[in-house]
Amino acid sequence: MADAAPGGRCAHATTMNDDGSSRPPDDISVLVQDSAWTEALPEAAGLMETAARAALVAAAAPEPAALAVALADDAAVRRLNFTYRGKDKPTNVLSFPDGAGDPEGPAALGDLILAYETVAREAAEQGKPLADHLRHLTVHGVLHLLGWDHQREAEAEAMEGLERRILAGLGVPDPYALPDVLPEAAAGPVEETAAS
């Protein structure tokens, strides 16, 4: 059994992670429920894991942290969105904070679920690579699990600023910057759907 750290948490070995951070290994589980994700983006699970870890480091998440991510379809997300938010439509990402957990293990942050058709459509409409949009929504969802929100203007500015910094570190362009020329599919008003 590991020695207890101050505050009763279990002490974990700290290792150098792929992103250059030195924090205990996080437990990030990715479940592919819709094969469309891996057909369109074979590296989807790895991209999500890297983006989630970057968000955990940047937001100073509890060490170590645990979260689960499901790569699903619109139908699954629509059911959950209706059940938990009363909205009978799919959305790009939903976050379900947990807050519970085993005091001897990683801090359980919660679950994220992403809808393939919605995410792919948004990426196409916004002229962004699917991989970049997936990483953005993963970072966005992880920040929600950590308590960040965007309901008020000041909160939105702070959250979006952190998202930009995290994504820049991953080589992803600013997701909130307006493109010079909108793709034809997005010529009308664009609805911001990043919600949880």
* DSSP alpha helix (H) spans, the chain: 36-40, 44-58, 74-85, 116-125, 130-145, 153-169
Q: Is the pLDDT of residue 86 over 90?
A: yes
Q: Are 165 and 141 in contact (CB under 8 A)?
A: no
User: Cα–Cα distance between 87 and 193 in angstroms, integer?
Assistant: 12
Task: For the full predicted model, state whether its pTM sits above 0.85.
Answer: no
Residue 47, Ramachandran bin (φ over 0: left; ψ between -120 and 50: alpha; else beta): alpha
Give 180's pLDDT tier (boundaries 50, 70, 90): low
pLDDT for res 8: 29
* 93-136 per-position pLDDT tens digit: 999 998 665 666 678 899 999 999 999 999 999 999 999 999 99
Mean pLDDT, all residues of the chain: 81
What's the whole-number mean pLDDT along residues 17-25?
A: 60
pLDDT in tens, 52-68: 999 999 988 878 888 99
Q: Which residue has the tokens 């939105």?
A: 156
Which domains, from first to last, does the chain contain? 19-173 (3.40.390.30)
pLDDT band (50, 70, 90) for residue 152: confident
Q: Which helix (H) or strand (E) holds 94?
A: strand 93-97
Residue 25 to residues 29, 68, 107, 167, Cα–Cα distance (Å): 12, 15, 12, 21
The yes-or-no verdict on residue 194 having pLDDT over 60 is: no
